[in-house]
C-alpha cells in the first residue's frame, strides 16, 4: 500500500513515516514508479513504534524494542530492562518538574497581579544573583 494508507492505518503522519525510513526504523519495498510500498507487517511495526513513542520511549529504545519484538528467542528480562530504565527517566523528570511547579505555585500565589510593579516572582529571579540557594534543579 502507499504511504498515505500506511499513515492512516498506523496513525502516524506520512512525514514521520518517511523519517522512520531515513533512520532505517521501518524500510518499505519500492514500486516500479518509486513509490513506497508498505506491507501489513510494516504497518504493524509502525503502529508498534507509535505506541512506544506515546509511552515516551526514545527512538533508539524503539529500535531496541522492535528488535526484541522480532526476536522470537528474546528474554523478557531484556525488554523489562529497557522499560524500567525508561520509567526511571520519567520519574526523574517528574520530580524535576514537581520541584519547579512547587516553587512557581508559591511565587504565583504570592504575586498580587495588579498594576503595581512589586512582584515576588521578579524578586526571586533577581535575587538569584545574590547566590541564594533555592530548590529547583534543571533536568
Partner DNA sequence: CCTTGACCTTCCAGCAACTGGAAGAGCGAT
Partner DNA sequence: ATCGCTCTTCCAGTTGCTGGAAGGTCAAGG
- Distance of alpha carbon 99 from alpha carbon 74, whole angstroms: 39
The three cell numbers locating residue 128: 538569584
Residue 80 touches a copy of itself, criterion: CB under 8 A: yes
Site string for a copy of itself, 98-137 (x = CB under 8 A): x-xx-xxx-xx--xxxxxxxxx-xx-xxx-xx----x-xx
The dihedral built from the CA positions of residue 22, 25, 26 and 31, taken in this order, carries a sign that is positive
Ramachandran region, residue 75 (left: φ > 0; alpha: ψ -120 to 50; beta: rest): beta
Q: Which residues bind a copy of itself (CB under 8 A)?
A: 43-44, 47-48, 50-56, 65, 68-69, 71-77, 79-81, 83-84, 86-87, 90-91, 93-94, 97-98, 100-101, 103-105, 107-108, 111-119, 121-122, 124-126, 128-129, 134, 136-138
Amino acid at each position: 500500500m502507499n504511504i498515505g494508507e500506511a499513515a492512516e492505518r498506523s496513525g502516524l503522519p506520512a512525514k514521520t513515516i518517511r523519517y522512520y525510513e531515513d533512520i532505517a526504523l521501518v524500510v518499505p519495498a519500492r514500486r516500479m514508479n518509486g513509490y513506497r510500498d508498505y506491507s501489513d507487517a510494516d504497518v504493524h511495526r509502525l503502529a508498534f513504534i507509535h505506541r512506544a513513542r506515546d509511552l515516551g520511549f526514545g527512538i533508539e529504545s524503539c529500535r531496541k524494542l522492535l528488535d526484541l519484538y522480532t526476536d522470537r528467542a528474546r528474554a523478557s528480562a531484556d525488554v523489562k530492562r529497557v522499560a524500567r530504565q525508561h520509567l526511571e527517566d520519567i520519574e526523574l523528570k517528574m520530580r524535576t518538574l514537581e520541584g519547579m511547579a512547587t516553587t512557581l505555585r508559591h511565587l504565583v500565589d504570592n504575586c498580587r497581579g495588579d498594576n503595581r510593579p512589586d512582584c515576588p516572582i521578579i524578586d526571586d529571579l533577581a535575587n538569584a544573583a545574590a547566590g541564594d540557594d533555592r530548590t529547583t534543579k534543571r533536568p
